[in-house]
Amino acid sequence: MNSPQNWPQQTPPGQAPPGGYGYVPGGGGYVPGPGGGGYAGPPPVRKKRTGLVVGIVVAVVVLLVAGVVGKLYLDYVDEPGGGPGGEPVAQCALSDSLKQQAHVSSFRLIQAPAEAEKGMKQTHCAWEQTKGRDGRNPRTIHVLVYDYAKFSDKSDRNEEMAEGNYTSFTSYASGSQAKQVDGLGDQAMVVIPSSSTDLTEVNLLVRKGAVVWNIRYFGRDKGFLSDSAFPVDDAEAVARRTAEELVR
């Protein structure tokens, strides 16, 4: 009796199953044969890493922003200045109340006057800030004194030299806001140079007899994101008071 046509045909011993599907005894089911395609099951599913990449990027950005903000904050709260400085010379000595007004307390002698008996004697000194004492807004006073009192044996000649020195500063005032000042010495002029928007600077020039003073006060107000200039009127008040204490 012939077998039904739809029954699977057994492969004779020693022969490979035909191409296509082969039957695996024991419940393995049909698998692709040597020359056939067949069904091999779904491909493995790859895990998506989009969330991980986004998380890393966000973390890096947060760290960068935190670093920038931290640097800005440290710069903002940091107080400029150094040590208390040295003992001021007579040509640059200021009262405690003026130093408090100007936010300076550290004296530095930049150039001492020459010890020669004759000639012009020049003094250059600075009042700067003491760290932790004068605040976080930078301020500085520079004082230059040109003393012609003993330039020669002729007092008229000495005063002429001082007048020439004072006049030479008018070229420095070109392009700047300059105005005459009354009540200080024989001649006085305040000069406000053109400067950047984050800096205030005032120069006060005074001549009395054979001596010329050049007083410069400058600084800025610190901000969290950027610095700014402080009122010019405040700077002029400090410069004028400095002259009133030094010009005798």
Q: How far apart are CA 38 and CA 18, in angstroms?
A: 13
Q: Please report the pLDDT score of residue 47 as a whole number.
A: 61
Q: Which residue has the tokens 């089911």?
A: 29
pLDDT tens figures, 67-124: 665 655 555 556 677 888 999 999 999 999 999 999 999 999 999 998 888 999 999 9
CATH of the domain at 220: 3.40.1000
Q: How far apart are CA 237 and CA 145, in angstroms?
A: 20
Domain count, the chain: 2
pLDDT tens figures, 111-134: 999 888 899 999 999 999 999 999
By CB neighbour count within 10 A (0-12 exposed, 13-18 middle, 19+ buried), where does 67 fall? exposed
Question: Encoding tokens for residue 158?
Answer: 């000495």
What global pTM score does this model have?
Answer: 0.70
Q: For residue 94, what are the domain limits?
A: 90-246
Q: What is the CA radius of gyration of the chain?
A: 44
Could you tell me which of 158, 142, 143 has the C-alpha nearest to residue 211? 158
Q: Please report the pLDDT score of residue 68 as a whole number.
A: 60
* Residues 127 and 187 both lie in one domain: yes
Could you tell me which of 50, 219, 241, 21 has the C-alpha nearest to residue 136? 219
* Residues 112 and 136 both lie in one domain: yes
For 94, phi and psi rounded to 5 degrees?
A: -120, 155
* Residues 170 and 65 both lie in one domain: no
Q: How far apart are CA 213 and CA 187, in angstroms?
A: 10
Q: Mark the ranges of the chain whose per-residue pLDDT is less than 70.
A: 1-48, 65-79, 172, 174-175
Question: How many CB atoms lie under 10 A from the CB of residue 169?
Answer: 16
* Residues 164 and 120 both lie in one domain: yes
* Residues 171 and 68 both lie in one domain: no
Last residue of a domain, one of 59, 79, 99: 79
Q: Please report the pLDDT score of residue 23 as a whole number.
A: 47
